[in-house]
Amino acid sequence: MMKIMIVDDETDIEPLFRQRFRREIRDGLIECQFCFSAEDALNYLNSASAADIVLILSDINMPGMNGLELLRILKEKYSHLTVFMVTAYDDEEKYQKALAYGADRYLTKPIDFEKLKTEVLEFSQKMRSHNA
């Protein structure tokens, strides 16, 4: 089982992910934790229940702290975490910045869930073989 954290200010992202990954969640392949701001995400990561999170999907454009800032902090403080950036802004500047801060993937909205699912499952596979 792999625990994923999704950070996005749009609360509708939760039912969307839950439905899209229904089977995987039901089969116990993955578990999702939703945070609706970068600050929430950092708070959650500080709590004890965050220990098993391995992958974070984060939006970039959010009120308060933005996703790139979050990414920078995550890569500094929690370097073991894998971070995928998911954003509507596919401009070169943000992309370069995300790469510089160490993003593991850069996906654009509208989210192509087929692709995302493949990526996530591949990642989970890798984790498992790595742990085994």
Partner 1 sequence: MIKRLHQRGLTFKMIIYIFTSIAIVLCVILVVNYKYSQKMLRKNIEESARNLNQSIVNRVEVVLTSVEKLPRAVAHLVEHGQYTPERLKNVIRLLVKNNPEIYGMTIAFEPYAFDKSQRYFAPYYYKSGDEIKYASLASGSYSYLDKDWYIIPKELDKPHWSEPYYDEGGGNIIMSTFSAPIYKTIDGERRFIGIITADMSLEWLQQIVNSIKVLETGYGFTLTTTGQFITHPLPEVIMNETIFSVAEERGYPSLREIGREMIQGKSGFKKPDYKSLKGGQASWISYSPIKMNGWSLGIVYPLDELLNDVRHLTIMMLLLGLGGLIFIGFMVALISNSITKPLRHLDTAAKDLAAGKFDIELPHIESRDEIGRLNQSFIAMQSALRDTINKLKDANEALEDYSRNLEAKVEQRTHELSQKNKELDASFKNVKTLSDIGQKITSTLNLELIFNTVYENVNTLLDATTFLIMIHNEKEQQLECRLAIKKGERLPLYIQSMNEKNRLAVWSAEHREPIFMNDVAKESVKYVTFETREATEETISSLIYLPLIVEQRLIGVISVQSYKKNAYTQYHFDILQNLATYTAIALDNAFAYEAINRANRELKEAQAQLVQSEKMASLGQLTAGIAHEIKNPLNFVNNFSELSIDLTKELTEEIDRYQDKFEPKMMDYFHEVLGDLEHNVRKINEHGKRADSIVKGMLLHSRGKPGEMQKADINNLVQEYLNLAYHGFRAQDSTFNVKLETNYDATVEPINIVPQNLSRVFLNIINNACYSVHEKKKERGEKFAPVVSVTTKNLGEKVEVVIRDNGKGIPQDIIDKIFNPFFTTKPTGKGTGLGLSMSYDIVVQEHKGELKVTSEIGEYAEFCITIPKNLA
User: Which stretches of the chain bind partner 1, using CB under 8 A?
Assistant: 10, 12, 16, 19-20, 61, 88-93, 109-111, 113
Q: How far is the CB of 7 from partner 1 (least distance, A)?
A: 14
Is the CB of 12 or the CB of 47 nearer to partner 1? Answer: 12
Minimum Å gap between C-beta 102 and partner 1 is 23
5 neighbors 33 (Cβ within 8 angstroms): yes
The least distance separating partner 1 from the CB of residue 22, rounded to whole angstroms, comes to 9
Quote the distance between the C-alpha of residue 73 and its chain's center: 14
Which CB atom, from 7 or from 53, has the smaller least distance to partner 1? Answer: 7
Nearest approach in angstroms of CB 117 to partner 1 is: 12
Give the residue with the Cβ less far from partner 1, 21 or 123: 21
